């Protein structure tokens, strides 16, 4: 991972699982309207219609685990874009309830 992640940054996860920290190249680095100063935006890069790759999912779990521990974030506060912005109903296109449950299991297995 390059760079330190804080609440002003966005994190990008490439198809091969590679993680990059920084602002969106265009616009002002905003990832979610009204949430930019109090959240960390994580974007999984993919082509429209394509599913996320396994390396991406693995990288996401590892990244989230690191952030949850570092900033003491409750798992319930891991939100999909769709959950905080009605204009983004398809982002990230997965069931977030299920995702959070699976993530809790992922963390438990590591303890």
> Residues 15, 68, 91, 107: which binds Zn ion (CB under 5 A)?
91
Q: Mask 35-74, x = binds Zn ion (CB under 5 A)?
A: ----------------------------------------
Query: 67 vs 91, which CB is nearer to Zn ion?
Result: 91
With H, G, I as helix, E, B as strand and everything else as coil, classify residue 109.
helix
Total H helices, total E strands in the chain: 3, 3
> Residues 5, 11, 59, 81: which binds Zn ion (CB under 5 A)?
81
State the minimum distance, in angstroms, from the CB of residue 30 to Zn ion: 11
- Phi/psi region, residue 33 (left: phi>0; alpha: psi -120 to 50; beta: rest), is beta
- Would you say 63 and 11 are in contact if contact means Cβ atoms under 8 Å apart? yes
Query: 93 vs 107, which CB is nearer to Zn ion?
Result: 93
- Would you say 53 and 75 are in contact if contact means Cβ atoms under 8 Å apart? no
Q: State how far the Cα of 86 lies from the Cα of 78, in Å rounded to an integer.
A: 17
Size of the site for Zn ion (CB under 5 A): 2
What residues line the site for Zn ion (CB under 5 A)?
81, 91
């Amino acid at each position: 991972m390059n760079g330190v992640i804080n609440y002003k940054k966005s994190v990008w996860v490439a198809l091969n699982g590679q993680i990059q920290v920084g602002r969106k190249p265009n616009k002002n680095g905003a990832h979610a309207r009204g949430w930019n100063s109090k959240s960390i935006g994580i974007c999984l890069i993919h082509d429209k219609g394509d599913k996320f790759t396994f390396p991406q999912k693995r990288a996401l779990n590892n990244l989230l685990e690191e952030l949850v521990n570092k900033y003491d974030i409750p798992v319930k506060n891991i939100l999909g874009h769709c959950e905080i912005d009605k204009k983004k109903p398809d982002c990230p296109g997965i069931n977030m309830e299920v995702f959070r449950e699976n993530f809790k299991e992922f963390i438990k297995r590591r303890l």
